[in-house]
Chains A and B, each alone.
Chain A
Amino acid sequence: MLEISLIEKIIDYGVSKGADFVEIFVEDRFDTRITLIDGRIDSASSERDFGLGLRLFKQDQQVYAYTNDPTEKQLFTMVDRLIEVLQIKSAEPKTVNLMNLDVKNSHVIVLNPLEVSKMEKARIMKLAYEGAKNYSNLISQVVVRYWDYDQKVFIANSEGTMASDRRIRTRLMVTAVASKDGEQESGFYGPGASMGLEFFNFRDPKDIGAEAARIADRMVRADHAPAGRMPVVIANEFGGVIFHEACGHALEATSVAKSASVFANKLGQKVAADCVTAVDDATIPNAWGSSNIDDEGTVTQRNVLIENGVLKSYLVDKFHAKMMNTKPNGCGRRESYKYIPTSRMSNTFIMPGKYLPEEIISATDYGLYAKRMGGGSVHPATGEFNFAVMEGYLIEKGRIVKPVRGATLIGKGIDVINNIDMVGNDLARGQGMCGSISGSVPADVGQPTIRVKELIVGGRKR
């Protein structure tokens, strides 16, 4: 790690040269990735990343540089180059006193992955393999991916903040392939948490494997999904990707500050159906998307985004907070020191409502039941989103009648959250990686079972 005195010197140098804000982000990280195919460990890799990112603001412009050779000489050169870009002429000597931010660790780790043998990790993977392989005789292949990491971050800035955090995460991802009559379909399940290996005391690896296999087994027997507009019931857990894509990204300051979001200038206004309350909460103990501080050194918090249909808050990072004349709310995130942080989601979910999931299905005359969702994406400026249904069923006369496959759901964000007409009581969260301009970050999505009155289902049956 770098000497604090050097960090102070660099920050002082930046502000003395006329920058409004100087930030140093240091990251030291170890990753372990292991892949098992067909019951055997196919490859294993270990990775160590280390680097420093330097960011400067001047009025409403921001510039960034990074290196993994952070010598004193290199750092001064980086500041000089960035100052030149900002075309700052005036300068006066200034000093900043760095104060350590006292952060409580809410995400206690019991079994640090770095201290657990790889043999143990391989054993867990083989259990997941067995869980999948033994699920059904249609399972033709199983790929198990194990991933853990230990990321130490240190942030110091010219506001005097000095903070550090350690994020340890563990995830097991299983892809099962089912084959039948010359056709193949796959199922995926990949839970994870801000935990060490104790995660597997809560989640049985065999069950994780079996869930991936169950999806593949159902889908290989399924017919093509119907095409066109229809009601869609979306199950809980990873189903929450609908809010994440349809709405969450458009609430990020990155889009809002430029008025390039359909939700810009709508605080306090009704933007969603009354039954929709949505939250982004990075403070949930040991959740996949949680952290004690964000990647800008701001303590994380629970942000209510939409309450009973009314827009309450955006997700705001430091740079855009200035433009929006507001305060950052702990969501400045980045994949690594190679990215400029920006406003991102952490654990985002729709709050539970009053219906039992079965009631929602019974109340639907015809439509699609999306039991397991794949990923999705969105264009925040136009609100156009899409996401894939990994496991779908056709609903007829209030009953699930048959499995259907291959459907993507598309729509526009603001229409969808206005068209949610039933919200269940079975809130659960699922884990994913969210990709955006500041890289790929771990994020939980979540919701109870919900019904959307109308969505376009991209199937092939008319």
Chain B
Amino acid sequence: MKEKQFAEMVFALAKKQGFDDCEVLVSNHREFEVVVSKGKIDNYTDASSKRATLRAIKDRRSCFATTEILDETSARFLVESAYENFMITDTLDEDDIWAERPTKGPFEYEDAFERVSVKEKIELAKRMEEKCLSYDKRIQHVIMSGYGHQRSEIWLFNTKGLELTESFGYGAAFVYLVASDGKKPKRGFRAMYGSHPNEVDVEKVALEASSEAISQLGAQPVKSGKYKVLLRRDVFAQLFFAFSSIFSAEAVQKGLSPLRGKLHQKIAAETLSLIEDPFFEKLPMKRSFDNEGVPTTRKSFIDHGTLTTFFHSIKSARKDNVKPTGNVFSQRCVPLNVILPEGSLGYEDLIESVGEGLLVIALDGLHSGVRPVSGEFSLGANGYRIADGKIVEPVEQFTVSGNFLDVLQKIELIGSDCEIVSANWFGPSVVVSELDIAGS
């Protein structure tokens, strides 16, 4: 069944059921991925799926239902179960359906990776593995050498006359491998994202994953203490995303974020700005409206250290009497793309400026060792010891602990080594003046 026809069927049933307004979001998702190991296809996925979500409103209360089948029975399922959900929902927070059209967009993503033949994509994954294995005899196994891409097309219809469509996606190459000197194995991982095959350099992925694993061999323990720490660009991005929920207005309103009461206050170092840019040219994902149909906007949510806004859904915006910010993606209120503007020092200069300290290149336990309610974290880490402004040895088996808000305040230097480190982060490495390290 066509998307619009399905939405109209749902609207008619919802009206009969007594809902005041509703919205249907249909997404059509296509994904491809090939992973090779030892020259053989280890994992290969070629898939497509569809999904429709109903957000229905009655007496200003919203409720949800989702289906992966788009037919008349499912339309009934959506409306009937949404009604049951409405009957138990007793929140005092009011929700609404959006009516205003976005001024930008719609963005259209033509998946250029689809034009690369399946055979070529398998070859690319195999070539990456070969590159890694020939890099150094000590590269023991390439656990995963993968190449993949995905594209989503979404349609949003609502009873206030909004009818929007957009497509987005990206491609990526990734390598996960293990090097061993016969004593201790060490891992190397690298992924690269882009919106065109030209932007995904498989040779570079292989080289960087391999050199990282080799350079970690012979890693030494670290003494517990307070250290100046250089967080590599991807590590700082990971730490941010582990805490991105604290910027959601709903978390703040419900007392689940340490940012409560901190709007328009200084929460970070003067030099730090974080920008949410859903149109950022270099990043593959671009959106002109969010999953509630609200126009997305470019905004410095941290501007020279000051927290300027939270991320608002329609519901949280009504409560704070502000405008929604266009940040609802998969029922969560999060930034789509984050940009950390570059500072003045290159990567090598950052290392030199640390003098004595640590360079952290990987954090483990980001889903469990962080507590967004307090901002506290304690995470496993890998990296290098910096002495006299130079990397002197690889280090392992240590933890990095602190408070995320404290880290933002203690950012001393911001590098100029900006890169796309995930599908939705572009930024450089940063130096944090002091963090707690536990080791031997």
Partner-B contacts on A (CB < 8 A): 34, 37-38, 40-51, 59-69, 78, 81-82, 84-86, 117-119, 121-122, 140-141, 143, 177, 179, 183-186, 225, 227-229, 255, 258-260, 262, 338, 340, 374-377, 379, 381-388, 405-408, 410-412, 435, 437, 456-460, 462
The interface stretch among B66-74, B204-212, B335-343 is B66-74
Q: Give complex CA distance A182, B37 in Å.
A: 52
Contact in complex: B43, A62 (CB < 8 Å): yes
Contact in complex: A44, B89 (CB < 8 Å): yes
Contact in complex: B43, A408 (CB < 8 Å): no
Contact with A along B75-98 (1 / 0, CB 8 A): 001000110111111111100000
Q: Give complex CA distance A231, B187 in Å.
A: 27
Q: Give complex CA distance A81, B45 in Å.
A: 11
Residues of A within 8 A of B74 (CB): 48
Interface residues of B, dominant DSSP: strand
Residue B244 is within 8 A (CB to CB) of chain A in the complex: no
B216 nearest CB neighbor, chain A only? A382
Across the interface, A377 reaches (CB within 8 A) one of B44, B91, B255, B365, namely B365
Contact in complex: B368, A377 (CB < 8 Å): yes
Residues of B within 8 A of A382 (CB): 178, 184-187
Q: Which of B197-256 contact A (CB under 8 A)?
A: 224-225, 254-256
- Tell me the count of chain B residues lying within 8 A, CB to CB, of chain A: 76
Residues of B within 8 A of A51 (CB): 49, 68
Residues of A within 8 A of B87 (CB): 118-119
Contact in complex: B398, A118 (CB < 8 Å): no
A-B contact count (CB 8 A): 252
Partner-A contacts on B (CB < 8 A): 37-38, 40-50, 62-69, 74, 77, 81-82, 84-93, 118, 122, 141, 143, 178, 184-187, 224-225, 254-256, 258, 331, 364-365, 367-369, 371, 373-374, 376, 378-380, 382, 396-402, 436-440
Contact in complex: B44, A376 (CB < 8 Å): no
Known: A37-B254, A375-B367, A382-B187. A61 touches B91 (CB 8 A): no
Across the interface, A185 reaches (CB within 8 A) one of B67, B331, B373, namely B373
Interface residues of A, dominant DSSP: strand
Across the interface, A379 reaches (CB within 8 A) one of B77, B364, B397, namely B364
Contact in complex: A65, B47 (CB < 8 Å): yes
The 8 closest A-B pairs by CB, nearest first: A458-B399, A227-B438, A375-B368, A386-B380, A44-B85, A46-B81, A45-B64, A408-B378
Across the interface, B45 reaches (CB within 8 A) one of A118, A340, A406, namely A340
Residues of A within 8 A of B380 (CB): 384-386, 408, 410, 458
Contact in complex: B43, A85 (CB < 8 Å): no
Other A-B pairs beyond A376-B368, A412-B397, 10, CB < 8 Å? A40-B91, A46-B65, A46-B82, A61-B42, A81-B46, A255-B143, A259-B141, A387-B365, A387-B369, A459-B378
Contact in complex: A374, B256 (CB < 8 Å): no
Known: A141-B255, A410-B397, A456-B439. A85 touches B122 (CB 8 A): yes
Contact in complex: A48, B68 (CB < 8 Å): yes
Contact in complex: B365, A122 (CB < 8 Å): no
Across the interface, A48 reaches (CB within 8 A) one of B77, B141, B255, namely B77
Known: A43-B63, A377-B368. A68 touches B41 (CB 8 A): no
Residues of A within 8 A of B401 (CB): 227, 406, 408, 458-460
Contact in complex: A48, B438 (CB < 8 Å): no
Residues of A within 8 A of B436 (CB): 227, 459-460
Known: A41-B89, A456-B398. A66 touches B49 (CB 8 A): yes
Contact in complex: B371, A186 (CB < 8 Å): yes
Q: How far is the CB of A86 from chain B (nearest CB, A)?
A: 8
Q: Give complex CA distance A258, B401 in Å.
A: 34
A216 nearest CB neighbor, chain B only? B373
Contact in complex: B256, A42 (CB < 8 Å): no
Across the interface, B44 reaches (CB within 8 A) one of A85, A117, A458, namely A85
